[in-house]
Structure 1
Amino acid sequence: MIERLYLNNFTCFDDSVFDFCKGINIFIGRNGTGKTHILKCLAASMKANALFSQSTSKTKDKFGDLLSEKLIGYFKPDSLGHLVNKYGLGAASVKVELTTGDIAYNFGERASLVKTDNNAYIEQPHFIYIPPREMFSLFEGFISLYERREISFDETYLDLAKAMDVSPLKNEALKRAKDMLAPILAKWNIDVMRKGNRFYVIDDSQEYEAHLVAEGLRKVATILYLCINGELRPGSILFWDEPESNMNPNLISIIVDLLMELAQKHGIQIFLSTHDYLLSHKLSMMAEYAEETSPAMRFFSLYKDGHRVEAEIANQLVDIAHNPILEEYSAFYDLENEYIKRHNERV
């Protein structure tokens, strides 16, 4: 698992340390507080480490090249140095602590390459990164287009497309994979299939092209297929940026049940960012009232204090003072009461 992340002068972070749990790690905070940056930093570092294991050259310079490439590919800055906090001291450093070892590196604001002391592959779990925009309907021709043309999607979309390009499992392996999907399959008669370069959803025995299915359903179907083809597997790591994007609340409830199942029964370490009240507070409710049957959970509330991004950390949302999701809902409740009061006074 990923145990800890150190960020020093990296993007919007000054000097931050994040201690993770082995279950579900949830990041909340207003836009611009670095939730996605944490997920991408972890995933880019692990992707470079994975590529280093396949490299014939096992030198610090080669590892640095791969880290540079993945940071630029995942964040899409004009230059590597733009990932340095402009209010910092001109250099950024990152350290990802895994159970098996550390991935540590640094770079300056004028640097074109990352510097690292790592010259050996750090054993790590398989991982999947799911960005906010769905890939289910975009898959057809996406990989060849990305590799041949300059397009606005970052590399997290390419990596997801490549994961979706893997063929489904068979026989007993497929049965075990579908066991991970129990929360979805128990509430929804759905299946996913691929024909050529197109995906289809089978809902109540009716087949629909990916383009004809609502975006929220496409995101659920993506998770379904990643389990079916073994890319989301027991003991792996799942990064999911804004799962709630374009999802109806009834799907959010299914997603919460799925996350609980993946973490508790299948040992998948989960990192997700969210702005959704139902998603964050239902997870917190499970942590608070169903401790014996729930996986470990940790909430990270990111907020700005001047130019600094601070982090408040707790195992339940009730212990978080900076909760912008709850603050907006409380403000809406107060506004509604004010309108009701004015209406009653007029009547």
Structure 2
Amino acid sequence: MLNNIELRNFGPIHQLECNNLGQINLIIGRNGTGKTILLKSLYSAMRTVEAYQRGHEPRTAAEILADKLYWTFEAEKIGDLVSKGADLPLRFKFCLDDCLFFYEFGKDTTRNISKLENHIPSRNSNSIYLPTKEVLSLHQNILQSRDIYKTFGFDDTYLDLARALQQPRMRGKNYQEFAHSRAQLKDMLDGRVEYDQKSGRWQFKKGNQKFAIGVTAEGIKKIAILDTLLGNRYLDPQSIVFIDEPESALHPIAISQFLDIIVMLAEVGIQFFLASHSYFVIKKLYLAAQQRQNLSIVILSADESSSGEQWDIANLREGLPTNPIIDESIRLYREEVKLVLE
């Protein structure tokens, strides 16, 4: 799994370093602190490593990365990703199973990354990014806008996911490690989402009834996406999954169940990176960390202080860290208690 990360001058992230990533990593903070940018930067690098090391690519790792950054961040030139006003170049580094991947470039860079090191060996497992919006009802629009028209609108996180969902379900038994989590997903769905080859559209099947995906609940579609990626074996126990706002479109009970499944999958090997605004998500993962002392759940907390942007790193096994999201939830609770006592 990813062991450590370092970003400097990457958009709003001026400096972030974490040397002890966990099986689950939760990124929290105010709007504009760079949560989604952090997820996308990690995802772009992982997809570059996976594409390059499989040996099917005529392009260099630097060319693959430049293309990935261009289409993931939809920037006119990738130099636009360098922090505004920064004198030093953008710098990105991570270690996957203690093997280094590193690059840097300046603000005038268009599509040519001249400084890149890649010491990560060939990797068969896939990374995937689950964006805030579901993609099942937008599936054909995503593929057409990118494969045919090649225009901005749906970035590479949407395109990669749309393509991954198209993979047919494989015959035979799935990974034994996923059996329990997939059973839980099936209970949550109370049906099955299928791709109809004739119409080229997804539909929700419940018993003998079929429903157009457009009239299916957003929460069902979100859960079905994860189940589909497990069912067609796009994901395996060494995959890395990035999820932006896992709480979106789900009611509290479904959020709790969804996070239970994430914890189960993390325990059998998948590494997760989640970005969230929700105190409910923080609290649920805190309880999971307390209940499972062998599971490392790291929280990367972004905040703006008088001295500028700061990132605090903590392990939820050791308690809840200080953060505006947590502080505001505690403040509201105390206000409620005060009203009751009065």
- Establish whether TM, by shorter chain, passes 0.5: yes
Aligned residue number for residue 275 of structure 1: 277
Measured against aligned partners, the alpha-carbon deviations of 1:144-187 in whole angstroms (never above 9, x if no partner) come to 23222324221110010010110112122387755441322345
**% same residue:** 28
Aligned residue number for residue 115 of structure 1: 114
Alpha-carbon separation, structure 2, partners of 1:282 and 1:34: 23
Sort the Cα spacing of 1:87 and 1:151 in 2 relative to 1 into closer, same or farther, 3 A: closer
Conservation of the 8 A alpha-carbon contact between 1:2 and 1:20: no
SS across alignment from 1:97: strand
- What is the TM-score with the length of structure 2 in the denominator? 0.89
Conservation of the 8 A alpha-carbon contact between 1:2 and 1:98: yes
Alpha-carbon separation, structure 2, partners of 1:224 and 1:259: 11
Alpha-carbon separation, structure 1, partners of 2:153 and 2:141: 15
Q: What one-letter code is carried by the residue in structure 2 that aligns with 1:110? A: D
Aligned residue number for residue 66 of structure 2: 68
The offset of 1:219, in angstroms, is: 0.4
Alpha-carbon separation, structure 1, partners of 2:317 and 2:32: 20
SS across alignment from 2:117: coil
Aligned residue number for residue 333 of structure 1: 333
Alpha-carbon separation, structure 2, partners of 1:216 and 1:251: 8
**Equivalent pairs, count:** 336
Please give the residue correspondences for 1:90-169 in structure 2 after superposition, counting only pairs within 5 Å. 90-99=88-97, 101-112=99-110, 113-118=112-117, 122-124=121-123, 125-149=125-149, 150-169=151-170
Q: What one-letter code is carried by the residue in structure 2 that aligns with 1:143? A: L
Aligned residue number for residue 286 of structure 2: 284
The offset of 1:129, in angstroms, is: 0.9
Aligned residue number for residue 36 of structure 2: 36
Aligned residue number for residue 233 of structure 1: 236
Please give the residue correspondences for 1:138-287 in structure 2 after superposition, counting only pairs within 5 Å. 138-149=138-149, 150-173=151-174, 178-196=179-197, 197-203=200-206, 206-264=209-267, 266-287=268-289
Alpha-carbon separation, structure 2, partners of 1:179 and 1:337: 40
Conservation of the 8 A alpha-carbon contact between 2:30 and 2:303: yes
Sort the Cα spacing of 1:148 and 1:307 in 2 relative to 1 into closer, same or farther, 3 A: farther
- Structure 1: runs of 5 or more not aligned: none
Greater shift, 98-107 or 25-34, is seen at 98-107
Measured against aligned partners, the alpha-carbon deviations of 1:257-285 in whole angstroms (never above 9, x if no partner) come to 10111011x21011111112222211111
How big is the alpha-carbon RMSD for the aligned residues of Structure 1 and Structure 2?
A: 2.5
Conservation of the 8 A alpha-carbon contact between 1:100 and 1:122: no
Aligned residue number for residue 17 of structure 2: 17
Conservation of the 8 A alpha-carbon contact between 2:69 and 2:78: yes
Sort the Cα spacing of 1:50 and 1:255 in 2 relative to 1 into closer, same or farther, 3 A: same
The offset of 1:323, in angstroms, is: 2.2
- What is the TM-score with the length of structure 1 in the denominator? 0.88
The offset of 1:333, in angstroms, is: 3.4
Measured against aligned partners, the alpha-carbon deviations of 1:93-152 in whole angstroms (never above 9, x if no partner) come to 111211152111110011112223436763344211111110011113431232223242
Sort the Cα spacing of 1:209 and 1:20 in 2 relative to 1 into closer, same or farther, 3 A: farther
Alpha-carbon separation, structure 2, partners of 1:203 and 1:282: 30
Conservation of the 8 A alpha-carbon contact between 1:52 and 1:63: yes
Aligned residue number for residue 84 of structure 2: 86
The offset of 1:252, in angstroms, is: 0.2
Measured against aligned partners, the alpha-carbon deviations of 1:186-234 in whole angstroms (never above 9, x if no partner) come to 4553322111221122345542221111112110111111111111222
